[in-house]
């Protein structure tokens, strides 16, 4: 690492050990971190984000060898998934150990654990020699940050230090798999799909969907109906209806922004157009940065071409549907 980065890493460790907040990069989004063993420090996360106290956090670890420190029951399936996907964008929900404070779990008997795939995050975790509780470094329910600048703009002085590790490579939050109640169940889709998980476990996995919170415990991060939402209203529109929806909104005098994959741009007053990547991974990587950009530009309606109904697009569709739920514009056709 660079000398300046080494200095910042040392400062980050001092701050975490003192019970302060440090934002750091992961491959998914930037996290707002605190010492997971310190309830007072964890409480600062909830205050900074405006996060409900019963909404659980994910604990980030330096490696899978720490699983038994944080969970009292680690099934063989969890070890197999960890071996296959860690470091990487996968969170495992397991029975919590005695060392996990209620502040981290929202009072539940389970805890979310993951090992992020980012060199700066891993350096921080290895040197810290403990777990770092870290939800996304943004106000609760809003767009997750994928650059250090996003964190600073969103949280300002509420975070003591932001470690800059560049743009996040994945761009959306980790897949969450519940292994606390027997068979694996995907509670939040991400870059690692249900088929990937089934390929390791040799079994199928049940899945939830967007615009609802799972009726059964455990509660997990990012499962609320309204989440990841821009300030501007966001509406999902089927590809075949997008052009008509754009023209109708413009006729109403609205300042319209469009995120389109397949529809070619056309010029009109009061219209901003973003041509999104055709592949799911590229789309996910730039999704949150694009939403922030269009928000900042002052659009009063963001129209998004609905992603295709394919497994590769499930995580993107989940985030967009929750963003639309959050804005009250979920009129997908």
The answer to whether residue 212 scores a pLDDT higher than 50 is no
| pLDDT value for 298 | 86
SS3 content of the chain, % helix, strand, coil (to 5): 35, 20, 45
Kindly provide the b/e burial profile for residues 286-307, where b requires at least 16 CB atoms within 10 angstroms of the residue's own CB.
Answer: bbbbbbbebbeeebebbbbbbb
Distance CA 277, CA 256 (A): 20
* Res 214: pLDDT: 46
User: Looking up tokens 């703009």, which residue turns up?
Assistant: 153
pTM: 0.91
Residue 82 has pLDDT above 50, yes or no: yes
Label residue 326 by pLDDT band (50, 70, 90). Answer: low
- The average pLDDT across 171-176 equals 97
Return phi, psi of residue 326, to 5°.
-65, -25
Residue 216's CB is within 10 A of a number of other CB atoms, namely: 10
- Average pLDDT rounded to a whole number, residues 31-52: 96
Per-residue pLDDT, 141: 83
Mean predicted confidence (pLDDT) in 17-46: 98
How would you classify the pairing of strands 234-237 and 58-60? unpaired
Judge whether 92 and 113 are in contact, CB under 8 Å: yes
Query: Could you tell me the two tokens for 146?
Result: 């994928």
Give yes or no for residue 252 having a pLDDT over 90. yes
Task: Indicate the DSSP class of residue 137.
Answer: S
Q: Three-state DSSP class for 64?
A: helix
Tokens of 112: 């979310």
Q: Classify residue 158 by its DSSP letter.
A: G
Quick one: pLDDT at residue 219?
A: 59
Residue 117 has pLDDT above 70, yes or no: yes
Q: Tokens representing 205?
A: 């996995």
pLDDT band for position 54 (cuts 50, 70, 90): confident
**Cα–Cα distance for residue pair 188/297, rounded to 1 Å:** 30
Give the tokens for residue 142.
């809003």
- Cis peptide, bond prior to residue 87, ω within 30 of zero: yes
Whether the per-residue pLDDT at 263 is higher than 60: the answer is: yes
pLDDT value of position 266: 85
- Which residue has tokens 């939830």? 208
Q: What percent of the chain has pLDDT over 70?
A: 89
Confidence of residue 6 (pLDDT cuts 50, 70, 90): confident
**By mean pLDDT, which of 135-144, 191-200, 221-230, 260-269 is the weakest?**
221-230
User: How far is residue 259 CA from its own chain's centroid?
Assistant: 20
Instruction: Specify whether the CB–CB gap between 67 and 113 falls below 8 A.
Output: yes
Of all helices (H) and strands (E), which one includes residue 34?
strand 31-35
What is the reported pLDDT for 223? 53
Domains and CATH numbers, the chain: 3-207 (3.90.870.10), 234-327 (3.40.50.11030)
Share of the chain above pLDDT 90, in %: 79
Q: Which tokens go with 259? A: 């995120």
Backbone angles phi, psi at 258, to 5 degrees: -125, 135
Look at residue 182 in the predicted model and tell me its pLDDT.
87
77, pLDDT greater than 90: yes
Position 2 confidence tier, pLDDT thresholds 50, 70, 90: low
Sheet with 256-260, edge to edge strand ranges: 234-237, 301-305, 256-260, 271-275
Would you say residue 213 has pLDDT above 50?
A: no
pLDDT at 249 over 60: yes
Which stretch of 161-170, 175-184, 222-231, 305-314 has the lowest confidence by average pLDDT? 222-231
Give me the count of residues in the chain: 333
Question: pLDDT-based confidence at 210, cuts 50/70/90?
Answer: very low
CA atoms within 13 A on the CB side of 92: 37
- pLDDT tens for residues 284-307? 999 999 999 998 888 899 999 999
| Residue pLDDT, tens place only, 88-111 | 999 999 999 999 999 999 999 999
190 token code pair: 């991400």
Question: What's the angle, vertex CA 218, arms to CA 213 and CA 220, rounded to 5?
Answer: 60
Q: What tokens appear for 172 in the block?
A: 């959306």
pLDDT of residue 331: 41
């Amino acid at each position: 690492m660079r000398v300046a980065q080494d200095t910042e890493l040392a400062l980050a460790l001092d701050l975490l050990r003192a019970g302060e907040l440090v934002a750091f990069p992961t491959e998914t989004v930037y996290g707002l971190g605190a010492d997971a063993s310190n309830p007072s420090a964890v409480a600062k996360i909830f205050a900074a984000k405006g996060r409900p106290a019963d909404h659980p956090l994910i604990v980030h670890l330096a490696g899978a060898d720490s699983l038994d420190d944080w969970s009292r029951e680690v099934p063989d399936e969890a070890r197999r998934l960890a071996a296959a996907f860690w470091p990487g964008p996968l969170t495992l929900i397991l029975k919590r150990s005695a060392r996990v404070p209620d502040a981290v779990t929202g009072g539940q008997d389970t805890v979310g654990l993951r090992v992020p795939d980012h060199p700066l995050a891993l350096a921080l975790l290895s040197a810290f020699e403990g777990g770092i509780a870290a939800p996304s470094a943004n106000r609760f329910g809003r767009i997750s940050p994928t650059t250090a600048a996003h964190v600073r703009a969103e949280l300002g002085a509420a975070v003591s230090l932001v470690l800059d590790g560049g743009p996040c490579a994945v761009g959306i939050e980790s897949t969450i798999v519940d292994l606390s109640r027997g068979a694996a169940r995907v509670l939040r889709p991400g870059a690692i799909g249900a088929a990937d998980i089934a390929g390791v476990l040799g079994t199928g996995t049940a899945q939830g969907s967007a615009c609802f919170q799972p009726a059964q415990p455990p509660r997990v991060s990012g499962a609320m109906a309204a989440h990841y939402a821009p300030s501007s209203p966001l509406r999902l529109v089927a590809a075949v209806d997008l052009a008509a929806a754009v023209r109708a909104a413009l006729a109403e005098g609205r300042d319209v922004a469009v995120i389109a994959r397949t529809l070619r741009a056309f010029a009109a007053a009061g219209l901003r157009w973003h041509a999104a990547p055709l592949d799911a991974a590229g789309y996910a990587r730039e999704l949150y940065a694009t939403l922030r950009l269009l928000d900042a530009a002052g659009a009063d309606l963001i129209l998004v071409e609905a992603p295709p109904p394919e497994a590769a697009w499930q995580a993107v569709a989940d985030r967009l549907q929750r963003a639309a739920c959050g804005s009250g514009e979920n009129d997908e056709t």
